[in-house]
Structure 1
Amino acid sequence: MAGIKVSTVVEAPAERVWELLGDFHDLGGWHPGLPASSLGNELTGNAIGSVRVFEIDGAALYETLLAYDEEARSYTYSFPEGTFELYGYRATLRVTPVTALDASFVEWSATYDVESEHRKATADRLHGVFTAGLAALRERFAG
């Protein structure tokens, strides 16, 4: 099992950051590299099992919400098996207060299986997506 974790500190209270990040269907609203998503099934909002669909380079990317915890400010989602040569993909986006700074610690992590010949390219691709999103988030809330 491979994995990646990317994190940053955002200069805003966790409640404000979570107001933006906490909508599973609005990732494309704040991530500069992703378009707006559409609904992939009848479940809306942050209902477990809800599917968001991104149209990227003429292909549809389906992501399913597996867990949502409003109190812990986190959610976990997956891709269908084989998407980007990934198996068992599970990603979590989490916002934690940094109380001494009235700021937020934001972590985006994923675990997955991938064949060895795709390991580096996959890690690089995920790192790029996660890093770009967190950098945009940090800029959005910057002083």
Structure 2
Amino acid sequence: MNLKIQRDFDFPIARVWDVLGDFGNIGWGAPGIQVDQIGTGPGMTRRLHMPGMEPIDEVLEAIDHSARRFSYTIPRGMPMPITNYRAEVELESLGDDRCRVHWGAVGDATGDFTGEQAAEILNGAYAQMLDALNAHLSQG
């Protein structure tokens, strides 16, 4: 499975990075979900606690603040039919206080799911996160 999506935002790249580059804080995109931040910088884990589910561990593998890019894995608690998951997020300036968010992931579909079906599930999850990001940024 290999998925790449992008979304344009009518906000300055620095403002969008202030939100996305704070890996341990996803309250903007996951309201009501308890998040434990374990460690700092590359190697840190954000552990998501969602009702009725095992915790989900998302591990920051690399981050480059100057390039506005980071990557992460989900080694434990992946709620979707995917193993060996690795995602990369990168921001691109479009000038005039606009930017583009590139969000991609690779992984292996599990069970009866095809790579295409797994990518479709992830596409929906990413679209929700990007919608939440836009709503958060629009609030001020």
Q: Give TM-score, length-normalised by structure 1.
A: 0.82
**Could you tell me whether the CA contact under 8 Å between 2:81 and 2:111 is conserved in 1?**
no
Name the aligned partner's letter for residue 29 of structure 2.
Answer: H
In the alignment, does 2:70 pair up with 1:75?
A: yes
Q: Offset at 1:116?
A: 6.8
Higher relative contact order (CA 8 A, sep 6+): 1
Tell me what 1:113 maps to.
108
Give unmatched runs, 5+ long, in structure 1. none
Larger helix percent: 1
Tell me what 2:61 maps to.
66
* Cα distance in 2 between the residues matched to 1:21 and 1:81: 21
Percent of residue pairs identical: 28
Residues 34 and 87 (structure 1 numbering): CA distance in 2 closer, same or farther, change over 3 Å?
farther
Tell me what 1:55 maps to.
49
**Could you tell me whether the CA contact under 8 Å between 1:11 and 1:141 is conserved in 2?**
no
Q: Offset at 1:105?
A: 0.3
* Cα distance in 2 between the residues matched to 1:49 and 1:20: 19
The alignment covers a number of residue pairs equal to: 136
CA deviation string 1:9-35 (max 9, x = no partner): 1111101110111101112x2214772
* Cα distance in 2 between the residues matched to 1:53 and 1:125: 21
* Cα distance in 1 between the residues matched to 2:117 and 2:7: 23
Residues 130 and 65 (structure 1 numbering): CA distance in 2 closer, same or farther, change over 3 Å?
same
Tell me what 1:5 maps to.
4
* Cα distance in 2 between the residues matched to 1:48 and 1:62: 14
Q: Give TM-score, length-normalised by structure 2.
A: 0.84
* Cα distance in 2 between the residues matched to 1:61 and 1:34: 15
Name the aligned partner's letter for residue 31 of structure 1.
Answer: G
Give the RMSD, CA atoms, in angstroms.
2.3
**Could you tell me whether the CA contact under 8 Å between 1:81 and 1:89 is conserved in 2?**
no
* Cα distance in 2 between the residues matched to 1:34 and 1:125: 22
Give unmatched runs, 5+ long, in structure 2. none
Tell me what 2:118 maps to.
122
Tell me what 1:37 maps to.
35
